[in-house]
């Protein structure tokens, strides 16, 4: 309960540091009988792993996952699934100079004051390397949601710095290094990133995630609302500074007559709500945007202090993503999957697999 577990019933407990022995997690509460192979998980890890283009960190980590428990003859048994990813490309020496100095924009300063001690190697626990285990755990969640309910969870980059990326097709997302849903714009994105790197700078991004086919009725009424849990999950991703659901910040300037989605016998007429009303899923697409800040590690000289409070100038020279948003899409998908499966189980606990004797609205809500 010290901030390394996610979920009440489908619980992921994570461990590991950037340059320690490895990273991993225990997934507890997975329903039994689900087919899960190493490949199911590796497929998702490969989408997030570093070194796949010149626009991301050049650290070489295969991120090969080992399943230590919880699977018997290819199926989940209902007992904890432990996953282990050994670190391969540790270069602790790269980080020697930051042992006594706080990198600006990083957690060095806050960890030091919180714990009175910190593992400085690559940021230790605060490194975004930890997000690999969420992707691994999310792969299990995604598979169960897909098989049990037909739920599809997909994300893409919707903004890179000042550039808006108009959505063209889900098919484009997997065909470029940016997870952009628009292949035409990719050359522009590449030029943009090349310029940023040349300036030894970094930039932010916006990621959008959508969940389709979520049943009506998931989420809790007052706290633990589905949107609140999604906001929590997304803001738990390193570098995320904002989250919005549906119309989000645009709803500030909207009128009620515009924002509020009308209902028809064939379903909702619009989806400004982003698929959630009163904290509970409506059956429409759940739509989420997240703001990812620019990478704090840049090769420019920046003012900082050391542990004794003396001023220092430092540039961060290790291998870093010039835009951490580029690899954030699979992480955001995983987080959404983890929230949804937890609420699927919570809903089932209180209300049962089927709620009987209740007249329902006919027709699919789309």
69 secondary structure, DSSP code: S
Question: Would you call 133 helix, strand, or coil by DSSP?
Answer: helix
Nearer to a second copy, 7 or 50 (CB): 7
Shortest Cβ 60–a second copy spacing (Å): 21
* Structural contact between residues 51 and 29, judged by C-beta atoms closer than 8 angstroms: no
| Residues 137 and 78 sit within 8 Å (Cβ to Cβ) | no
DSSP string covering 74-123: TEE-SS-EEEEEE-----GGGGGGGSSBPPTTSSHHHHHHHHS----GGG
Q: How far is the CB of 92 from a second copy (least distance, A)?
A: 11
- Any known ligand binding at 304? no
| Residue 13 marked ligand-binding | no
Residue 275, annotated ligand binder?
no
| Minimum distance, C-beta of residue 32 to a second copy, in the bound complex (Å) | 4
357 marked ligand binding residue? no
48 among annotated binding-site residues: yes
Least Å distance between CB 234 and a second copy? 8
CB atoms within 10 A of CB 283: 18
How far apart CA 230 and CA 223 sit, in angstroms, is: 12
65-67 vs 311-314, strand pairing mode: unpaired
Angle between the 328-351 and 131-149 helix axes, to the nearest 10 degrees?
A: 50
> Measured from the CB of residue 289, what is the shortest distance to a second copy in angstroms?
8
Residue 251 marked in a binding site: no
Query: Among residues 88 and 175, whose Cβ is nearest to a second copy?
Result: 88
As annotated, the binding site for NADP(+) includes 48, 54
Binding residues for FMN: 125-127, 238-239, 278, 293-297, 319
Query: Which residues are part of a known binding site?
Result: 48, 54, 125-127, 238-239, 278, 293-297, 319
């Amino acid at each position: 309960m010290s901030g390394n577990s996610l979920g009440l019933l489908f619980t992921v407990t994570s461990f590991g540091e950037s340059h320690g022995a490895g990273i991993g997690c225990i997934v507890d509460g997975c329903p039994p009988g689900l087919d899960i192979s190493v490949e199911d998980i590796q497929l998702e890890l490969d989408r997030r792993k570093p070194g796949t283009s010149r626009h991301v960190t050049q650290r070489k980590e295969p991120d090969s996952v080992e399943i230590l428990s919880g699977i018997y003859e290819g199926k989940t048994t209902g007992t904890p699934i432990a996953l282990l990813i050994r670190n391969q490309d540790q270069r602790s020496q790269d980080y020697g100079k930051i042992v006594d100095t706080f990198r600006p924009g990083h957690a060095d300063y806050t960890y030091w004051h919180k714990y009175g001690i910190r593992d400085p190697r690559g940021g230790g626990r605060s490194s975004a390397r930890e997000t690999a285990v969420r992707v691994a755990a999310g792969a299990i969640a995604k598979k169960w949601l897909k098989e049990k309910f037909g739920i599809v969870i997909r994300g893409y980059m919707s903004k890179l710095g000042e550039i808006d990326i108009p959505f063209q097709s889900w098919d484009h997302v997997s065909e470029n290094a940016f997870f952009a849903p628009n292949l035409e714009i990719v050359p522009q994105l590449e030029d943009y990133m090349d310029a940023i790197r040349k300036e030894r700078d970094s930039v932010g991004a916006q990621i959008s995630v959508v969940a389709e086919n979520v049943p009506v009725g998931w989420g809790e009424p007052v706290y633990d609302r589905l949107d609140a849990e999604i906001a929590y999950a997304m803001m738990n991703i390193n570098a995320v500074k904002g989250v919005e659901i549906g119309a989000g910040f645009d709803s500030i300037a909207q009128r009620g007559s515009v924002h509020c989605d009308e209902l028809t016998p064939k379903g909702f007429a619009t989806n400004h709500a982003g698929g959630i009303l009163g904290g509970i899923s409506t059956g429409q697409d759940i739509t989420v945007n997240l703001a990812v800040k620019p990478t704090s590690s840049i090769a420019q000289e920046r003012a900082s202090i050391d542990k004794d409070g003396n001023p220092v100038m430092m540039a961060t020279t290790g291998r870093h993503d010039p835009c951490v948003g580029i690899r954030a899409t699979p992480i955001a998908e995983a987080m959404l999957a983890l929230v949804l499966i937890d609420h699927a189980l919570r809903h089932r606990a209180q209300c049962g697999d089927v709620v009987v004797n209740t007249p329902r609205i006919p027709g699919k809500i789309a």
